[in-house]
Homo-oligomer: A and B are copies of this chain.
């Protein structure tokens, strides 16, 4: 049920995803929802955000753990999102962004917190890699925020324009910004 919700959230966000659709997609009986998620839709959505977030964290960790230079690691992670856009006809972008924006606007605090934790978690492997490359912890954290923000924005623009160029532009400009640097 969590995985089915995660797929629906990635494609259409939180408001367009009804509980009946989730139960249908998961092949689950109606009673199971409030059994497993007594706080209802917001709890299920928050759990689905954590599920999607863990998948993205693993993709970032995989990209960062290789011995290749950081610019290539950034490009590898951008390629992960590019694959999601191209295999879905530009319908599946970031699995968290749509829900994050909706939750913030609507004041759905449980969901909002899960989304904020996701974005923060994604920055950690990048910050660790930047520290390993010689940046100070403070600078590494700042650059990791900049990397995730830029990639999220590039993904948004690419999905909206139905073309990969904004994502490529972001990845290559980030790459130019991120030589190992202890200054």
| Interface of A toward B, CB cutoff 8 Å | 10-13, 15-16, 90-94, 97-98, 100-102, 104-107, 112, 115-116, 119-120, 142-143, 145-146, 148-154, 156-157, 159-162, 165-166, 169-170, 173, 177
Contact = CB atoms under 8 A, between A and B. Distances in A.
Contacts of A145: 154, 157, 165-166, 169-170
Nearest to A169: B145
- Total identical chains: 2
A146 B160 contact: no
Main secondary structure of the interface of A (DSSP, over half): helix
B142 A149 contact: no
B91 A104 contact: yes
A105 B90 CA distance: 7
Contacts of A98: 13, 98, 101-102, 105
A161 B173 CA distance: 25
